[in-house]
Chain A
Amino acid sequence: MSATTQLRKDSDAAGAPEPGETLLELKGMRVFYGAIEALKGIDLTVAKGEIVALLGGNGAGKTTTLRTVSGMLQPRHGQVLLRGERIDGIKSHELVRFGIGHVPEGRRVFATMSVRENLEMGAYKFSAVDSADVDRVFTLFPRLAERRSQLAGTLSGGEQQMLAIGRALMGRPELLLLDEPSMGLAPLIVQQIFEIVQEINEQGTTVLLVEQNATQALALADRGYVLETGSVAMSGAAGELLADSRIRAAYLGEGAG
């Protein structure tokens, strides 16, 4: 197993925080669905300012990991630490106050609300919507600005993904959890969305990215973890993982172990 060295791509972006300080840490996290053990002891760290990719095939436990971090599931054993403080056991609606933004799998925008209302929902935890936050999202995603009064259900898949990300950004997250943002989208749109994720990261948001599209995710990420049936099978710097023959085999040959 390669060491989880904190190699980092040189980023010359202004405002990106110094990496190194641990933001999120999972220690021996075990999660069950009834009697089925979905996560069999996950150890994972995300340092401030990083983009960390969480890879693996279907059923490997990627989404479960994100859902546990954001409080939708509770680990039966192990700990979830944010800035060194335990956050497992805290309900998801309280956890947003700790600076976690979660873009769920399948986008799940509020279909019968307008784009603008969806963004306002993202700022629900604040007493009022800050128009600067809305402007920031509209600057990142000009397409959303054009469609601000349109119902979210009428947007294309790519636009809905942008809206889901924008909605999460409205909560000014320090840690952004992205669950398969590329799912079901055309390659060109995926490219666009990944570029924006990079931009969001450069503006100072730490990203934990779940992806099936390993090559693209690792091109973006600083480090990566590969999950296989609920355990971390490999981890390391993105470049190392990209070069790793096992990864190449697993992802070129459909699905992990």
Chain B
Amino acid sequence: MSLQEFWDYLVLGVMLGSLYAVIAIGYTLVYGVLQLLNFAHSEVFMLGAYGSLIVLQFVSPADNPSALASIGYVALAMAGSALFGGVTAYGLEKVAYRPLRRRGAPRLIFLITAIGASFFLYNLAGKLFGRDPMTLPEMYDNHNVLTIFGAGVNVTQLLQFATAVVMMICLDLLVNRTKLGKGIRAVAQDAEVASLMGVDIDRVISRTFVIGGVMGGVAGFLFANLNQASYTMGFIPGITAFAAAVVGGIGNIRGAMAGGILIGIVETMTVPLLGDQWRSVSAMVVLILVLMFRPMGILGERVGRAA
């Protein structure tokens, strides 16, 4: 691998990683407040992609749009994906998980419900939107806009990376600076005591799902914009992002970010070194190594509860 190739793949890896990081945050947030592995989050991601697709089909972008129009299309597509992602996550919590919480169902039942919800959602999407992959309409002229370490970065990649970073910064501020964020952290640490402080646990959990859902939905749009939208598109990125969340230390938001970037880089670097077919394998190898040598994850200070 030449030095230039190294830089090219590193830049690609960081960009892919930023997307994994955003999806991983969805897993980690929900795990934080509910100790639930929400395997249906991959479907939130997938439906986000369809949300942007539906909006774009409705708007039907003109050929050779002006810069301003391009920004408008992107903003609308993003809004559509955020809406679909947020609503799906909200509905999931309300319909699938809340009734289980009311009955005090065991952890395993939640997990199976999550997997069932995932099957239901992607089959529903296949039925509603068709089973052929779809390409998003062109919203802008995709040319190279900048060069980092000699690696060209086009509009799509820049959009993906910048959006992911902005979302992560906003989330970090929300969790650390706002009252809702404080409520989320309190529920994650000790839900019962949080309720004694006046935190409405149900509301905090619901909003946590929506936040993770909006981010996951937008990630779905960014992914589909780079590749395609399909009803099965959630599976591989979902599993990979879940691995990223665990690698970073599940429940830890900054850990999810770090884990996402790390897995993105490792996965991408694998391509020139071992070949494309080893991509997903390498991500899982990272997961296994982390679980062997640092089971709480890179930044994880709390997997499960302190006694």
Interface residues of A (CB under 8 A from B): 70, 72, 91-94, 96-97, 102, 104, 108, 110-113, 117, 120-122, 124-125, 167, 171
With a cutoff of 8 Å between Cβ atoms, the chain A residues found around residue B196 in the complex are 70, 72, 92-93, 96, 102, 104
B199: chain A residues at CB < 8 Å are 93, 121, 124
Chain B nearest Cβ from A192, distance in angstroms: 23
Q: Which of B55-63, B142-150, B181-189, B206-214 contacts A (4 or more CB under 8 A)?
A: B181-189
Closest 4 CB pairs of A and B: A125-B198, A96-B198, A93-B195, A92-B195
Task: Kindly provide the distance from the CB of B254 to the nearest chain A CB, expressed in whole angstroms.
Answer: 12
Name 28 A/B residue pairs within 8 A (Cβ), A-sorted: A72-B195, A91-B195, A93-B196, A93-B197, A93-B200, A96-B198, A97-B198, A102-B196, A104-B196, A110-B185, A110-B189, A110-B190, A110-B193, A111-B189, A112-B302, A113-B186, A113-B189, A117-B182, A120-B182, A121-B182, A121-B186, A121-B199, A122-B197, A124-B179, A124-B183, A124-B198, A167-B197, A171-B197
- A92–B195 CA distance with the chains assembled, in angstroms: 6
B197 lies within 8 A of A96 (CB)? yes
Q: What is the distance, in angstroms, from B98's C-beta to the closest C-beta of chain A?
A: 15
- List residues of chain B with CB under 8 Å of any chain A CB: 179, 182-183, 185-186, 189-190, 192-201, 301-302, 306
If the complex has contacts A117-B182, A121-B182, A124-B179, are A108 and B190 also in contact, measured as CB distance less than 8 A? yes
A70 vs B182: C-alpha distance when bound (angstroms): 22
Residues of A within 8 A of B185 (CB): 110, 112-113
Give Cα A110 to B187, complex, Å.
10
Smallest CB separation, A190 vs chain B (Å): 22
Partner of B306, one of A70, A111, A167: A111
- A70 vs B192: C-alpha distance when bound (angstroms): 11
CB <8 Å contact, A112 and B197: no
From A72, A120, A125, contact of B192 by CB (8 A): A72
B172 to chain A, nearest CB (A): 15
**A125 contacts across to B, CB distance below 8 A:** 197-198
Which residues on the B side are within 8 Å of A112 (C-beta)?
A: 185, 189, 301-302
Given A121-B194, A124-B182, 17 additional A-B pairs, CB 8 A: A70-B196, A72-B196, A92-B196, A93-B195, A93-B201, A96-B198, A104-B192, A104-B196, A110-B186, A110-B190, A110-B193, A112-B301, A113-B186, A121-B182, A121-B197, A171-B197, A171-B198
Residues of A within 8 A of B195 (CB): 72, 91-93
Q: Chain A residues near B192: list those with CB within 8 A.
A: 72, 92, 104
Q: Report the minimum CB–CB distance from B199 to chain A (whole Å).
A: 6
